[in-house]
Structure 1
């Protein structure tokens, strides 16, 4: 029977495992009191109950617990092995057979990550499976996604997951609250094809705190017969480049240097102050400045088609492939709609994912950027594709090399 965790009912021994900031955030969504103000760390505000939303969430949990489960006896179960971004799990572009139950395990990990080696900026990242963004999940329309969400015993925070691709209970966020040492299993049906954000949403101010500490990822729900252009012709790709754009709001000290913290959650009040400015200190791809450049650059060959999946769980962004285009673009992420074609840049709304397909025609280094060039050049939102193959002078040719000239 599914249970909705009310932190006000957590035994005292369990409360002592968790930091007060976590319990304050959880209390904000459930309306429960986590613990007394006197028992909480000094840097964390006392929890307060909130709105009748908690009763609505509890009613949803109770209703689904009473409802009959669907007959899944005819479904084949398959386990999808998660891989770290920018890569994609093994999958079929066109589904074979009937819809399946796709089993996925996400484990929350709170880990110290370097954001920018040059400045020493670091963050206690809150992650799914240890990466920013969380791993890409790929299923087909009509499949069931069965998520096991695990929160290790050595965590200090409560976590959950809200799938924008799912229907009901705050995207599953209302049914997946797990404390350290707990796991929950959620099953939802992939009814809408497209690319969708998922993220942690414990409640209150802890929602942006978790999202802006890296706890977000993407689900791709492919049509069963694969991707199509506007005329219904099939579109296929050779590889996927999965890019998660992350805005960080890292606190600074009185000298302007980035602060460091001993443990996850210790930066909570400072981070809230930094986030209230709405001005990120960093806007990066896949967790850190330079994470997809140099030796870690994305790679392709001339003639290969790459599906670029771009997720931004919090802010608007404008991807652009310098030297290339979006041949087919699902800007709003919906595969139910015909793709736009031939775009120079495309717009990804905050809290969503989008996809663009491009076939490389020339070798060289392509910069994939947020075309807010301030964020690309100064805040870190840049990746590189290194493409190998033969140059085509019919597409571009340097007629005269740079030289001096006389007026």
Structure 2
């Protein structure tokens, strides 16, 4: 996950608090920065939930030492994940600090109503806008900025996921992760060593980078996702594009359950190898870790791996030769993905 220096350095940035709003008592939404996910909701009744977002424009790391002029929500790319419950009334606050150069807003795909909230949330630098919506359908939804030409706000990093839980919650798992794919189309900016959006490359659909969680290597090295043998893993996966669909695959795993297109309460596919996720779409995949070692996350439109669409889950635990074993002189190396 890409994070600005002013952002919190921990995954969970708000715990559940009781506060007073114009509508009476409410709770502050749980937010988590990728790859972290907010804890499951334990209450059994709908509530009024306050979500606080702030637009932040900053220069940050993109890939292999390259800097980029990002626009973001709360200083991270992707933006944080709010977790709410179906039936909740969501009071959404968007602050645009005066230091920013652009107006910003938010289109939340979980909103039923014209513009998804964009028309009532457009804030000029120095303004804050507030609107309210009902979380009417459970699912995993994209949100993104839709101000101005839209494409520059999306391409520069203003996107993320919101989870609307069903009334009885989701089945319990051992690990939950937030993974988000995005493309970047770049050219040198007027600032030495800093890249910015190339509209020409975007229109031609020629991406320079395709990354998970906002930057190359965000899920590699000391940032790999960690699990244990026997863990049930759930990945909330989003793809903003802005142009290309993602062929999401975990090398060495078969998805036990796939919530098709991020729908909760709709079709669940089983025993799936690769999931096609459209631009501005999502999916939820679940699988069990049966063997220790490294499991590589990729967009299986495989040339995109060279552009940055790669991550890793490292699983610790006891090996079971009934799952897989080498019949050669050389033993199986669980740390070797290929």
Does TM, normalized by the shorter one, top 0.5?
yes
Distance across 2 between alignment mates of 1:188 and 1:237: 29
Kindly tell me the number of residue pairs found equivalent between the two proteins.
Answer: 307
Q: CA deviation at 1:215?
A: 0.6
State the Cα deviation string for residues 286-339 of structure 1 (Å, max 9, x = none). Answer: 111111101001111111112101111223101101111211001311102131
**Structure 1 SS opposite 2:49:** strand
Does the aligned pair in 2 maintain the 1:80–1:89 contact within 8 Å? no
Does the aligned pair in 2 maintain the 1:169–1:175 contact within 8 Å? no
Task: Name 1:364's counterpart in structure 2.
Answer: 293
State the Cα deviation string for residues 177-208 of structure 1 (Å, max 9, x = none). Answer: 001111111211111111010000013xx311
Are 2:182 and 1:246 equivalent residues in the alignment? yes
Stretches of structure 1 that go unaligned for 5 or more consecutive residues are 1-70, 228-234, 252-258
Q: CA deviation at 1:72?
A: 6.0
Query: What are the equivalent positions in structure 2 for 1:9-88 lying under 5 Å apart?
Result: 77-88=26-37
Task: Name 1:124's counterpart in structure 2.
Answer: 69
Distance across 2 between alignment mates of 1:316 and 1:185: 32
**Structure 1 SS opposite 2:186:** coil
Does the aligned pair in 2 maintain the 1:368–1:383 contact within 8 Å? yes
**Among residues 114, 133, 153, which one is paired with 1:210 in the alignment?**
153
Q: 1:261 to 1:241 in 2, by over 3 A?
A: farther
Distance across 2 between alignment mates of 1:316 and 1:267: 23
**Structure 2 SS opposite 1:82:** strand
Task: Name 2:7's counterpart in structure 1.
Answer: none
Structure having the higher helix fraction is 1
Query: What are the equivalent positions in structure 2 for 1:130-209 lying under 5 Å apart?
Result: 130-203=75-148, 206-209=149-152
Q: Which has the larger radius of gyration?
A: 1
TM-score, structure 2 as length reference? 0.86
Are 2:316 and 1:388 equivalent residues in the alignment? yes
**Among residues 56, 61, 70, which one is paired with 1:114 in the alignment?**
61
State the Cα deviation string for residues 10-40 of structure 1 (Å, max 9, x = none). Answer: xxxxxxxxxxxxxxxxxxxxxxxxxxxxxxx
**Among residues 309, 319, 323, which one is paired with 2:236 in the alignment?**
309
**Structure 2 SS opposite 1:346:** strand
Runs of 4+ with deviation above 4 angstroms = 265-268
Structure having the higher strand fraction is 2
Task: Name 2:43's counterpart in structure 1.
Answer: 96
**Structure 1 SS opposite 2:70:** strand
Pairwise CA RMSD of aligned residues?
2.0
Does the aligned pair in 2 maintain the 1:164–1:197 contact within 8 Å? yes
Stretches of structure 2 that go unaligned for 5 or more consecutive residues are 1-21, 332-338
Which moves more between the two structures, 193-202 or 273-282? 273-282
Distance across 2 between alignment mates of 1:108 and 1:124: 13
Distance across 2 between alignment mates of 1:72 and 1:109: 28
